[in-house]
Amino acid sequence: MSRVVQVIKPMKPTVVENGVVTIKKKRVAAYARVSTDYDDQINSYKAQCAEYTSMIESNPNYKFIGVFADQGLSGTQAKKRPEFMKMIESARGGEIDLIYTKSISRFARNTVDTITYVRELRELGVEIIFEKENISSLDPKIDFMLTILSSIAQEESRSISSNVKWSYDKKFKNGIVDARRIYGFDVVDNKFVINPEEAVIIKQIFTLALRRFKPSDIVKSLNASGIKTVKEGTWTYGAIVQILRNEKYCGDAILRKTVTIDYLTKKTVRNNNIADKYYVSNNHEAIVSKETFDAVQIILKDKTGVERNSNKSTKYPLTGIIFCPKCGRSLKRQQVNRGENMRVVLNCNHSYGNPFNCDSSSPDYDLVLEATVDAINEIYANEKVLENLFEVFDNNVALNILRGDITRLKEETTNLYNLHQENPEDIHIYNQITHNESKLEKLDKELVSNVTASVRLDYIKSLVAKEHSDESTVHIKDIFTLVLADSKKVTFIISATKTRSELLENHAQILDDESILRKMFVARDGQRGIFYEVKLYE
C-alpha cells in the first residue's frame, strides 16, 4: 500500500448571509503620526489620513475601521500617543485584522516599543504593513529587519533631539526668549507687551505680597473682587505663587529653567545645577521693579514666619496680632457663660503649648475691637499724631543707603566669583565669598523691611481721605504691628520695620515707653469702657 500525501489548504474566512456565502472582509485600520504642529507637518498629517481613508475604502476586500492619528507628538514613547494606544486596545479587543502605516519611524522611534508591539499584534493575528520599507509584520525576517530599522529610527530621533538642543543652546546664548502669553503680558512679534488692564492686577498682587499678605490671602482678595484669570477662571494658590516667582514681571527672563534628561522618555526636571542657565536682564518692559520682585522672593523663601505676618484675611481682624501683656502669649477667643449672659473674652490660657495658667484678666473681645477701630479714627483725626506716624515710616534715606551698600557688595562678590573660577583652591577667596553672601543676606532682609514699610506707608496714607473707618474697611494689621490687651488697658504698637516676634521679645520695655495717643474709650452701649494707648517703636 503506497503512502499518499494530501494537501489540506486553509479555508478563507467566510460569512453566510441570507444563504449566500461571501469572503469575510479584512478589518483594516491605518496609523499616521507627525511630530510637530508646523504648517508643513499639518499638511503631511492631513495627506496621510486622506490617502489611507481613500485606499482602504476603495478595496472591496477591506472593511474600513478608521485612521488612528497622533498630531504634534513624538514617537519615542508609545504610551504618550493616545491614538496609538487606542489602536492597540482595539486590536486587543479583536476589532482589527490589518494595520497600514507609512514607515517604521512613523509607527515608533523606540526600538523596544517597535519590537514589543509588533510581536504582540502578531500574536493577536494582526498584520502590520510598513509601506516605505515594503515589509509585513508576518514576514519571518521581520524581527531582524525591525531591530536594524527601528534602531536607525531611534538614532535618528536622538540626532534630532541633539540638533534641537543645539539650536536652543544657540538661542539661549544669544539671549533669544520665546515669548508666550502670561497674565499681564500680550505677545506681539514674539515679544512681551504689557497688557495695561492685567498689569494693574499684577502690581496689586505684588503690593499685597509686600504688605505681607500670604498667597492664600491674595487668592481670597482677588476672587472676592471678581477678578478673573487669563482663562476667565478663579484664582488659586499655585497661580499666585507662580506669578510672584516669575522674573518676567520685572523685565528679565531665565532661560533653561528645566532640562530634558532622556530623549526617549522626554522626562524634564528642574535645572538645579544640571546644565547652564541664562539670565537675560532687561529683556522687555517691566511691570514691577526689580527691587519689588527681589523683596517678594525673600518673603516667599522665609519658612520661619519671621518675615511674614499672620494671615491678613481672617474671620476675626485681630487674630494673630493680639497678645497678653503679662505672659506674652497670644490671646484666643473664648465663650463664657451661657444664654443671655454669654460673652466672648480674650484669654491667653488657651494658647498652644501652655506651661502655666496666667492670672492676667480677660478683656471682652467686642470691646477691644471697638477700641481698635476708635484708635485708628483718632490717629487720623490728630494731625500731629499722623505726622509722627508718617515720619516713622518715611525711610527713603535708609533705603538709598541700603541700595548703595547692596550694589557695592554684589559687585565685589561678582569679582570674587571670577577670581574663584581662576583659583578654585584659594581658601581666602572662598571665605570672603561666604562672608559677603552672609552679609548680603542680612542687608537684603533689611531692605525688605524698609521696602515693606514704604508700601505700608502708601496704604496708611490712602486712608487719610476716609472720614471714618471700621473693621470691614481697613486692614488693622497694616497699621498696628502688635496689640497687647487685658481687661484694663489695650496697647497698640506701630513699628515700620520690626517684626512681631522682635516686638514681643521687648514688650515689657515697650509698655514703659511714651505713647503718641492716650484715651479712655467708652463702648457704644455706654456700659463698658477701656483705656488704650498707641505707641511708636523703632
Structural domains in the chain plus CATH codes: 14-158 (3.40.50.1390), 185-301 (3.90.1750.20), 322-536 (no CATH)
Q: What are the residues whose beta carbons fall under 8 Å from the beta carbon of 24, sequence distance 6 or more?
A: 12, 13, 14, 15
pLDDT exceeds cutoff 80 at 481: yes
pLDDT exceeds cutoff 80 at 310: no
What's the confidence (pLDDT) of residue 70? 83
pLDDT exceeds cutoff 50 at 280: yes
Q: Torsion over CA of 387, 391, 394 and 399, rounded to 10 degrees? A: 170
Q: Which of 161-175, 375-389, 459-473 has the highest mean pLDDT?
A: 375-389
Question: C-alpha angle 77/81/83, rounded to 5°?
Answer: 150
pLDDT exceeds cutoff 90 at 533: yes
* pTM, entire model: 0.64
Cell of residue 272, nine digits: 538645579
Exposed / middle / buried, residue 178 (Cβ in 10 Å: 0-12, 13-18, 19+): exposed
The rounded distance, in Å, linking the Cα atoms of 262 and 279 is: 24
First to last CA, the chain: 122
The rounded distance, in Å, linking the Cα atoms of 313 and 475 is: 9
Written in H, E and C, the secondary structure of 103-117 is CHHHHCCCHHHHHHH
With residue 452 as reference, give the H or E element that holds it: helix 427-462
What's the confidence (pLDDT) of residue 305? 52
Q: Which residue, 144, 183, 507, is CA-closest to 328? A: 507
Q: What are the residues whose beta carbons fall under 8 Å from the beta carbon of 406, sequence distance 6 or more?
A: 440, 443, 444, 447
Residue 20 CA neighbour count, 13 Å, CB half? 5
The rounded distance, in Å, linking the Cα atoms of 457 and 389 is: 9
